[in-house]
A and B are shown apart, each in its own frame.
Chain A
Amino acid sequence: QKEVEQNSGPLSVPEGAIASLNCTYSDRGSQSFFWYRQYSGKSPELIMSIYSNGDKEDGRFTAQLNKASQYVSLLIRDSQPSDSATYLCAVNDAGNNRKLIWGLGTSLAVNP
């Protein structure tokens, strides 16, 4: 069974701090990794994608990928209350590249 595991949280950080969200995956052949943000009652929204080992930065967001450890993380710098949401990690199914394998999500609360 291919799995993506995330700490369900809630992760609580003060405004202005760095939030660190982590994800591990079991499919060693996965090549594409995504972070989605989902506000309560809304649909998932893609915020970061990463395909190569190392860091990828986009504004206040940094995705980090370590394929050897099968680990992907998302750092949110200068966290804002508007970042409070559930963050979903997804990786491609190497056996069927048309599908993604989804984690259950980590709930983040940024406290003013």
Chain B
Amino acid sequence: DAGITQSPRYKITETGRQVTLMCHQTWSHSYMFWYRQDLGHGLRLIYYSAAADITDKGEVPDGYVVSRSKTENFPLTLESATRSQTSVYFCASRETSGGLGAFDEQFFGPGTRLTVL
């Protein structure tokens, strides 16, 4: 299927466990992003990647690790899950733009709802 997929869609885990959320896109978009969305905070950027093997921290990176060995995949790992990481996680992607303008649109996956007990 074309687009962005995320797995799992729902996950319940316990404090201290390692969890990996998967993101896969079929558009060959250069940029990929991980957001978390919480009531009262909106969408907050965790990490982003401009290309394979290039990643950068976003607004709230602590406690998370990313990798991007292939253009189409961008997994997010919670090394030791905490209750404060209970959230809905969205992966997004966008094409490379030559500058400002038409290629800045980001397209979102369906999300992963993570609960840390």
List chain A positions with a Cβ less than 8 A from chain B: 31-32, 34, 42-46, 49, 51, 88, 90, 92, 97-100, 102-105
List chain B positions with a Cβ less than 8 A from chain A: 31, 40-43, 45, 48, 50, 56, 58, 90, 97, 99-102, 104-111
Q: Is the CB of A99 within 8 A of B102?
A: no
Q: Is the CB of B104 within 8 A of A103?
A: no
Using Cβ atoms and an 8 Å threshold, which residues of chain B touch A105?
A: 42
Q: How far is the CA of A31 from the CA of B97 in the complex (A)?
A: 13
Known: A32-B100, A46-B107, A100-B106. 13 other contacts (CB 8 A): A32-B104, A42-B110, A43-B111, A49-B105, A51-B101, A88-B43, A90-B106, A98-B48, A100-B104, A102-B43, A103-B42, A104-B41, A104-B42
